[in-house]
Amino acid sequence: MAIKIDPDVRQPETRTSPRRSGGWFRKLQQRIRLALSGSDDELVLENKTGISWRVYHDYHWLGTIDPGEHQTFKLEKRGTLNVRPSVDGDDIEYLVLPLDIRIHRVRIYQRRLAQDVEVYDMRAA
């Protein structure tokens, strides 16, 4: 039995595209990216002390913040924020703060524990 093709029936043209069609997962990623964009990647750092500090994000140097200064850093809020005094010496310690997306402002300040004991501290505000 022979198969005959009707000449009146037109075959649809096939066209290939090198781009992806953009499935549901890609659309979900774009929607999440739009929901999380904005000022969530900005971190405002305040220095309320009398000394300069070197600022690090996951041990990558971001810059120096001077006394009484406010700086805004645009970074991915994961890992840790570390600061250390700009002065040289052997007894220098880092102040460390774990970062997450809810932190928008960080303050470095000096407080007095006793009459002759002053410490530097850093906290999310």
Place of tokens 């971190």: 43
Q: Do the domain assignments include residue 4?
A: no
- pLDDT at position 84 is 93
Cα(17)–Cα(50) distance, integer angstroms: 62
Percent of the chain's residues with pLDDT above 70:
73
pTM value is 0.65
Q: Do the domain assignments include residue 95?
A: yes
Q: What CATH number is associated with residue 54?
A: 2.60.40
- pLDDT at position 72 is 92
Q: Do the domain assignments include residue 24?
A: no
Q: Do the domain assignments include residue 116?
A: yes
Q: Do the domain assignments include residue 19?
A: no
Burial 48-66 (b: 16+ CB within 10 A, else e): ebeeebbbbbeeeebeebe
| pLDDT score of 34 more than 60 | no
Percent of the chain's residues with pLDDT above 90:
44
Name which residue leads in pLDDT, 40 or 44: 44
- pLDDT at position 93 is 86
Structure tokens at 51: 């000394």
Number of domains in the chain: 1
Q: C-alpha 20: how far from its chain's center?
A: 29
Domain coverage including residue 108:
39-124
pLDDT tens-digit profile of 79-105? 999 999 998 777 778 999 999 888 999
